[in-house]
Amino acid sequence: MRTQVGIIGAGPAGLLLSRLLTLQGIDNVVLESRSREYVEARIRAGILEQHTVDTLTDVGLGDRLRREGLEHSGIYLQYPGTRHKLDFPELCGRTVWVYGQTEVTKDLIAAQLDGGPPLLFDVSGVVLQDVDTQHPRIHFTDADGTPQVLECAVIAGTDGFHGPSRPVVQQARAGRVWERTYPYAWLGILADAAPATDELIYSWHPDGFALYSMRSPKVSRLYLQVDPSEKIEDWSDDRIWANLATRFALDGWEISTGTITEKSVLPMRSFVSAPMRRGRLFLAGDAAHIVPPTGAKGLNLAVADVTLLASALVRLLTEQRSDLVDSYSDRALARVWRCTHFSWYMTSMLHRSGDDFDAELQLSQLRRVCSSEPAARELAENYTGLPLDA
């Protein structure tokens, strides 16, 4: 098999990269180790920044997003006795959309299978070779058990944290990793309950952080800060709703309850791997970086990565100019660190550590954001997504 760009991983990063390249006439093949059903069922992020919505619209995937997604003009910051709205259009002229990563993936797969380039599910034994040459190869076994070799001009590793691409990049002498594991986790639920709020609520509480989000006008997505050692079986539905009611308590307002259809405990960490390139192998998305979900940056960072990478690869493969691929890692990592910082800022401002001194610092910061327009604007600009060239 031969193609211009071999893409490993059919999450949003790999599928969007394939779409961007295809629209520019670049041949590509996408390899995915999981089944289509598994990929389309993964529950992930749900907040899309302005640039992500614009990018999906530009590649012809905005119709269902705008029909079924929920546009949001701000968030609420809450601490005991106060719930304050940050108005994003007023502060920075942008909005965000609630549209689950699962739905983004479904839209991308449907477009790919509707006359798009090859998308191979259930592959195994992926091995990258010759990435330091102009003719890298991907060895794999297809879904029928047949060994295959994909010859490429470029390989894109969009295969997540556990994929085979990043270790190959890290074998280079300059490879480096930064990691921080946070001492708390999120217990997340999906519930058949109409949201009791028009915007997301980020709530600081002495018992721990809570987030009120939604997936549709009939489905709520809610989170509780818990210890990472907590077991989901120890949390009955009644216990979950009671804790949510406590942490979102506000005079004259009540939480909407309903049947919990999914619940899980999500660890929280930051991870950055550099560089994001070795020879003709390029990393994007979770293969290179992970952020805690508090800043709603994971999916949006992946979209930013592949937007930069697609432009760079088109120039390399059509004009034989390497300036953009040579600068790709540095340009992508500049945004990665900005988003990593914002995710850390939101996480550290809202999660209880058990230290009362830290608690007073957090409350001081929350009061500052809620009372200062410059502080609120800084949060709004980062939350809605800085321009790709920023």
Determine whether 72 is an active site residue.
Answer: yes
Determine whether 135 is an active site residue.
Answer: no
Determine whether 293 is an active site residue.
Answer: yes
**What's domain 5-70+99-178+269-353's superfamily in CATH?**
FAD/NAD(P)-binding domain (3.50.50.60)
The Cα 20–Cα 238 span in angstroms is 46
Task: Specify the 3-state DSSP secondary structure of 311.
Answer: helix
- Could you give phi then psi for residue 249, rounded to 5 degrees? -55, 130
- pLDDT score for 388: 81
* pLDDT over 60 at 390, yes or no: no
**Sorting pLDDT into bands at 50, 70 and 90, what band is 172?**
confident
Q: Residues 239-254: pLDDT tens digits?
A: 999 999 999 999 999 9
**Sorting pLDDT into bands at 50, 70 and 90, what band is 78?**
very high
The Cα 254–Cα 223 span in angstroms is 16
Average pLDDT over residues 99-103: 91
* pLDDT over 90 at 163, yes or no: yes
Q: Residues 191-232: pLDDT tens digits?
A: 999 999 999 999 999 999 999 999 889 999 999 999 999 999
Residue type, 357: F
The Cα 43–Cα 104 span in angstroms is 11
Q: Output b/e per residue, 296-306; b: 16+ Cβ within 10 A.
A: bbbbbbbbbbb
Q: Which of 79, 99, 202, 212 is catalytic?
A: 202
* pLDDT over 80 at 42, yes or no: no
E-strand ranges in the chain read: 5-8, 28-31, 47-48, 70-72, 74-79, 82-87, 96-98, 119-120, 124-129, 137-141, 147-151, 154-157, 176-192, 200-203, 210-216, 219-226, 259-274, 277-278, 281-283, 289-290
Query: Structure tokens of 97?
Result: 């959309």
Q: Which of 72, 205, 289, 351 is catalytic?
A: 72
Q: Residues 329-371: pLDDT tens digits?
A: 999 999 999 999 999 999 999 999 999 999 999 999 999 999 9
The Cα 101–Cα 106 span in angstroms is 9
Determine whether 202 is an active site residue.
Answer: yes
Determine whether 84 is an active site residue.
Answer: no
Q: Which of 205, 289, 297, 351 is catalytic?
A: 297
**For the chain, what are the domain ranges?**
5-70+99-178+269-353
**In contact, 330 and 277? CB cutoff 8 Å:** no
* pLDDT over 90 at 320, yes or no: yes
Q: In what order do the strands lie in the sheet with 137-141?
A: 124-129, 137-141, 147-151
Q: Which of 164, 293, 328, 351 is catalytic?
A: 293
